[in-house]
Structure 1
């Protein structure tokens, strides 16, 4: 990712949702190391968000954290506007925040369905809509889905996989809509990634590891490096696509 906008010489700016830990935190830090000023959102992990912001600032970049419940339809566009206000504008949006409620379909309540769809689908749509009002040519929108949406997931993943599958349906037409404005829209599909929500030494890890061609979990930094590439100038001709980073899980 280049560190400047050609027409202004100003640092690029980015908003990473769900940026207090895991893939979101790794992405926020990678973008900052590449020269961007970064805002991030969090829900409960205030300490983690503060730590990420401090690290961003240690790289000489501006960083800010916004507490946002992605299930609140008013909070999401407000966060996009707040990030743009804090950083001066918005060049990159990384829709990373998401939740997973797992279990057999008969055990999932209507409240479970509503919250998962609100966070994993509606919030992404609303963030994209808000960002579209603020971005100019060279803007980048990157959503984080799951490789589970590309093949049959395990029992109990129905609701989570359904919600993440909607992002493919968002990415392609939105790329067409925003293309004439010079804004790209892409979807990253991670496979088994070692995070606190799905640790490589967790009770369900062995089956996931064995299913990959590489025989291991990926790291949050490996996903972040792909996101950073898509956020940069070198990826300016990539849009409307899904990029899988899953260690050959779907090979």
Structure 2
């Protein structure tokens, strides 16, 4: 029997786009597994926001950059909320901003481990869950406008990782389309989150805003609306596509 309730696991959901997506998904009828890495208090605030929408939620600690953590994340989510019907691969890191020649091997490896391998491994476990429970689920992979721009002088390695995510999205979607499982991507432009400060340039929003045709950065909630729309029945004929949510870039 396919599950009757909607359950989504969102990686990196304690802040930014992930947190906004969790709240929007709850509004649209999803129970939400809120994955986080370090900030349990922030994750619990998102859980409370989901509960206020009348849906169930659980905070699940785990590092998608560590293959050994990923099965536990899925097991905890499903044991608490029931079978998954959706996955949002939102977690993404850049490493320090700067020229590629200054980027270390450790940074490159960590970025690809989280952004690419984490996305791939989470998707594989989601597919196994959908098959086990007989559901036609949805996977949304969060990419970046960097996959098209290349991000010269900032984080070429991050851009390359997101291009890999987009290619994976396309290939997986086509491979499993006949099963009814949909796989799409969302590529945000620069967004007002903590990613800029984490990368070492808290003032980056002010620097990049004039380069965006709309003249401003996205709010996390704007990107979240795109993600939850792709999760919804309104997008039932969309798979193997990456929606650009980048203010005209």
Decide: shared fold, TM above 0.5: yes
Moved over 3 A (4+): none
* DSSP 3-state at the match of 2:191: coil
Residue range with higher mean Cα deviation, 81-90 or 139-148: 81-90
**Mind listing any 5+ residue stretches in structure 1 that lack a counterpart?**
none
* C-alpha distance in 1 between matches for 2:84 and 2:25: 13
* Residue correspondence of structure 1 range 1-251 to structure 2 within 5 A: 10-101=4-95, 102-135=97-130, 136-198=134-196, 202-249=202-249
* DSSP 3-state at the match of 2:55: coil
* DSSP 3-state at the match of 2:9: strand
* DSSP 3-state at the match of 1:64: strand
8 Å CA contact 2:196–2:203 kept in 1: the answer is: no
Larger proportion of helix: 2
* C-alpha distance in 2 between matches for 1:206 and 1:53: 31
1:56-107 Cα deviation digits (max 9, x unpaired): 1111111001110122111113212321222110001000011111322222
1:10-54 Cα deviation digits (max 9, x unpaired): 321100000000000000010001111000110111110000001
* DSSP 3-state at the match of 2:195: coil
8 Å CA contact 1:81–1:130 kept in 2: the answer is: no
8 Å CA contact 2:100–2:153 kept in 1: the answer is: no
* DSSP 3-state at the match of 2:136: coil
* C-alpha distance in 1 between matches for 2:19 and 2:230: 17
* C-alpha distance in 2 between matches for 1:137 and 1:40: 21
Q: Figure out how many residues of one structure are paired with residues of the other and give that number.
A: 242
* DSSP 3-state at the match of 2:170: helix
1:186-233 Cα deviation digits (max 9, x unpaired): 11000011112237x942223421111111111100000000000011
8 Å CA contact 2:150–2:156 kept in 1: the answer is: no
CA RMSD of aligned residues (A): 1.8
8 Å CA contact 1:146–1:191 kept in 2: the answer is: yes
* TM-score scaled by length of structure 2: 0.92
| Cα 1:50–1:11 shift into 2, 3 Å | same
* 1:154 Cα offset (Å): 3.4
1:160-205 Cα deviation digits (max 9, x unpaired): 1111111111011100122111010011000011112237x94222
Residue range with higher mean Cα deviation, 240-249 or 202-211: 202-211
* C-alpha distance in 2 between matches for 1:152 and 1:128: 25
